[in-house]
Amino acid sequence: MATSASFPLQAQLALLAPGAVGGVVASFLGLPLPYLIGGMMAVAAAAIHLSKRGYDVSFPRPVRNACVAVIGTMIGGTFSPQMVA
């Protein structure tokens, strides 16, 4: 499990900022679930860049598990009975 020592505040902020910007950009582009998709794409790109520079960008397991539940709920909430039928 990552600790705050292995996931410093600088790395957290370095991933938070691109996530917010990615969500706004995806919203302007009219993508579905813009703040989820845009944020994930921007953070993935930033995490790859940071990991190549030597940062440990692994996320603490309890926070990751909570985020997976929230993301799943957001995605599931976009489906309607007509889409499934």
Query: For 62-71, what is each residue's pLDDT tens digit?
Result: 888 998 899 8
Q: Looking at the 3D structure of the chain, how many domains does it have? A: 1
What is the identity of the amino acid at 9?
Answer: L
Residue 62 covered by a domain = yes
C-alpha triplet 21, 26, 29: angle, nearest 5°: 130
pLDDT, greater one: 84 or 50: 50
Q: What angle do CA 59, 63, 66 make, to 5 degrees?
A: 130
Residue-number span of the structural domain to which 33 is assigned: 9-84
Identify whether 3 is part of a domain: no
Q: Is residue 2, in this structure, part of any structural domain at all?
A: no
Q: With respect to residue 4, please indicate whether it lies within any of the assigned structural domains.
A: no
**pLDDT tens digits for 3-60?**
555 567 777 777 788 999 999 999 999 988 899 899 999 999 988 888 898 877 777 7
**What is the structure's pLDDT at 26?**
95
